[in-house]
Chain A
Amino acid sequence: MALFKTKQAVKYKKKHLLGIQDLSIPEIVHILNESQSFVELNRKENKKLGLLKGKTQINLFFESSTRTLSSFELAGKRLGADVMNMNVSNSAIKKGETLIDTAMTLNAMHPDILVIRHGDSGAANLLSRKVNCSVINAGDGWREHPTQALLDAMTIKMKIGKIEGLKIAICGDIMHSRVARSNIYLLTMMGAEVRVIAPSTLMPKDINQFGVKVYTNMEDGLKDVDIIMMLRMQLERMDGSYIPSTREYYEFFALDYKKIKHAKENALIMHPGPMNRGIEIDATLADDINRSIIVQQVEMGVAVRMACLKILMENQE
C-alpha cells in the first residue's frame, strides 16, 4: 500500500531539486510514495536496479560529508548510474578556480546529474543556471538541505503513520542550520505543529514568520511534543560568541533524560548527524532504541535519494 493516498500525489516535474521551498504538498507526497518502494528494495538481497543505466552522476562536495555523500553514492549505484565523487580537497577549487568554472568543466563531461554541497547559500541555484544537467542540492550554506527534510518526513511517516497534527520540536543551532530551514518548510506544509527551540543568539531573525512557534527554553518548548529533532551545533560555522560554553549549552539546551520528560511519554528523537555527543545530546539517550530513530533516518536517506534521482532522470526524458 502506498504511504500516502496516491490521489494526493502529483509528480514533481522540475529539472532540479534545489529546495523544499520549490515543492508543493502533492509533489512531496509523490516523492515520499516513490521512496517507499526503494525502502523495500534496499532491504532485499539484490538491491540493484538498472533505471539509471548509462547515466552519469557526479557528487560535487565542497564541504566534508560522510553520510550524505555515501548515501547519494549508494543511491546512484543501486539505480545503476555511474557515480563519481569529486574530492574537492585536491581539486582545482583549491587552486582558485571559481564555482562556475568548475561547473563548466564538469558540464563539458556531460553528466546527467550533479549533486552539490557547498558552504555558500545559493550555490546550487547558481550552478543550476550554468549547467545542462539536473542539479540536486545536498546542502547549501544555511539555506536548504531538501533531501534531509524529505528523509526526515519519510522516517516520521513510516514510524508514526502520519505527519499532520504532530507536534515536532527542532532544537539547537537554528540560525546556522539548513536542515532546520528545510524541515520547517516541509513539516509546516504537511500540517505538523513545528516548534523551534534555541538560545536567542542562535535564532534567526523573523523565524516566527515561517509559521513556527519560537521557544528559548527546552522545558516549555518540549511540552507534549511527539518528536524531538536535535540539530548539530555548527561550531565550525560560528564566527562569534553565540554561546558562552558547550558546558553551559549542555545544561540548558542539550537533550537529556531530564528534559525529555517534558515531551510526550513515547516521544521520538531524531538527529541529522553527525552528533556531538555530550554537547547537544546525552550519549546514552542517543542510543536508546526505544527513543532514537536516528538509524532509521540513515536508512530512509538512501531510499529518498534514489527516488529523487529517479524522478529527476525521468524529467529529463
Chain B
Amino acid sequence: MKSAIINTRIIDTKNNMDEIGGILINEKGFIEACGKEVTKENVGDAKIYDCKNKLAIPGVIDGRVFAGEPGFEYKENYRTLSQAAISGGVTSVVTMPNTNPVIDNVSTFDFIKRRARDKSLIKIHSLASLTKNVEGNEITEFGLLKLNGAVGFTDGIKCIQKNDVMDKIFNYGKNQDALIIQFPQDNELSKNGVINESLIATKLGLKGIPDYAEHVIIERDLRLLSQYQSKYHISLISSGKSLEIINEWKNKNLKFTTGVSINHLSLNENDIGEFRTFLKLSPPLRKEQDRLDLIGGVKNGTIDMIVSDHKPEDEESKRLTFQKCATGASGVETFLSLALEQYHNENIDLKTIIKCITENPAKIFGIKAGSLEKGMPADIAVLDLDKPWVVKRENMQSKSKNTAIEDKKLQGKVEKTFLNGKLVFEI
C-alpha cells in the first residue's frame, strides 16, 4: 500500500524545495512524488499522514558515529544505535572503524556489513581504516574494501602522523578513487592533553592541547593533497584558525570537504565547568571565539558537513578523573534538535543546517539518501520545529547515556521517522 505525508512544509535542499505539500511513497518504499502537487485529493487510497504545521526533511545522515560493533557492544550495538537514531530523525549513519578488531580488512568489513543488515534498522555505512590496526603505518586494501562497500577510509579517532604514509595514502587513494578522511591532530603536540590549552586548562591544572596541533596536520595534508587531488575530507575541526588555512587552499582551487561536530557549534570550553567529564571531547572544546568562527564557517559554506560525533561511553569509563576518563559524548538522538538550536538562535538559517546534515553528507560519502526526489528511498524525518523539550539522560535511547547536554532546553523535536517508506518512529 502506498502512503502519503500531506499538508506539511517540505524542505529538500538538493532540489531547492521549501513549500507546503506532500510526499507520496510507493509500495516499495520509494518516493513517487514530492511537493505542492501532492495533496489529499490526488494520492488515491494511500495511507494518509496529515502533518499539518510540521516540517518534513530527508532523513538525517550522521557522518560520524561510533557503533560498538564489534568489540564494544556493551557501549552501543546496532539495535540500540538504531533506536537512538530514529528517535532523532537520523536514518543513515557513517560508522568509524575504531572497533575491536579494527575494521581494516575485507572479512571484518563483510562481517559487520552482515551484522548491520541483520540487526540494524537504520542504514549503516561503514568506513574502513586507512591503515592496518589504525597504527598509521601500512595502508589497507582500499580497492577491495571499496568493492565491498566501504564508503571511505579513516583512522577515526586517530590521525595519520607519518608524512610518507600520508603521502602514499593520497597517492594510492587517488588511484582507487577512495575517500580519505582525516582526524587532524598532531600526536606529539597533543600528547597527554585532555582539554583546550588555555586559561581554563591552567586553572583546572590539566594538560592542554593547543589549537595548532590541528593546524599543522591540516596544513601538511593540504600541501600533500595538492600533489594528488585525491578525495579528501577533514573529519572535524575545532578552531577558527583552521578555517583560515582551509580558505587559503580553497582559494588556490584545491577541492576537499570539511566537517564539524554539533558539540563544537553549541558548546565551548567554559561548559566544562568543574571537571564535567561528559564534556571531554576530541578535539577539545575551544574558546567562544572559535565556536563563533565555526558557526561562521557553516554559514559561508567553508564547512560542508555537521556531524554528531556520537561516541557512546559506558558510565564507568566516565566516572573517573577528567585526566583518565574516556573521551566523547553520545549524541545521535539529540543531533538534529541541537543543530536546530543554531536556527532558533538565528545563527544559521534553517536550509543551511539541513543541507549540512542531509544533502552534503550524501554527496561526500556518495550514498543514496539526503533528498526527497522521485526514486529515492523514502527516508524522512517529520518534526515539530518549535516544540520545546529538555534533554534527560533517563529518556535516552542510546545504550550509553553520556550526553554532553544534560538538562539542556532545546526547541524542535522529531515526531515521525520514516525509513524506506515505513513509519519506524512516532511520538
Contacts and interface: CB of A to CB of B under 8 A. Distances in A.
A144 B201 CA distance: 13
B322 A122 contact: yes
Chain B residues touching A, majority SS = loop
B19 to A, nearest CB: 51
Contact of A126 (B203, B206, B275): B275
B275 A122 contact: yes
B206 A142 contact: yes
Contacts of A181: 202-203, 205
B323 to A, nearest CB: 4
A125 B198 CA distance: 21
Given A99-B321, A126-B321, A121 B205 contact: yes
Q: Which of the listed residues B202, B320, B322 has the most CB atoms from chain A within 10 Å of its own CB?
A: B202
Contacts of A205: 197-199, 201-202, 208
A129 to B, nearest CB: 10
Interface residue tally on A, bucketed by range: 20 to 34
Interface in A133-147: 140-144
B41 interface: no
Interface string A201-218: 000111101100000000
A123 B191 CA distance: 21
A118 B201 contact: no
Interface in B178-223: 191-192, 197-199, 201-208
A141 to B, nearest CB: 5
B205 A99 contact: no
A239 interface: yes
Given A121-B321, A122-B321, A239 B205 contact: no
B324 interface: yes
A140 B205 CA distance: 8
Interface of A: 21, 98-100, 118, 120-123, 125-126, 140-144, 178, 181, 204-207, 209-210, 239-240
Given A120-B324, A206-B202, 13 more contacts: A98-B320, A99-B320, A99-B321, A121-B323, A125-B274, A126-B275, A140-B205, A142-B205, A144-B205, A181-B202, A181-B203, A205-B199, A205-B201
The 7 closest A-B pairs by CB, nearest first: A143-B205, A142-B205, A121-B205, A120-B321, A206-B199, A122-B275, A204-B202
30 contacts: A21-B203, A98-B320, A99-B321, A100-B319, A120-B321, A121-B275, A121-B322, A121-B323, A122-B205, A122-B206, A122-B321, A122-B322, A125-B275, A126-B321, A141-B206, A141-B321, A142-B205, A143-B203, A143-B204, A143-B205, A144-B205, A178-B205, A204-B201, A205-B197, A205-B198, A205-B201, A206-B202, A207-B202, A209-B199, A239-B192
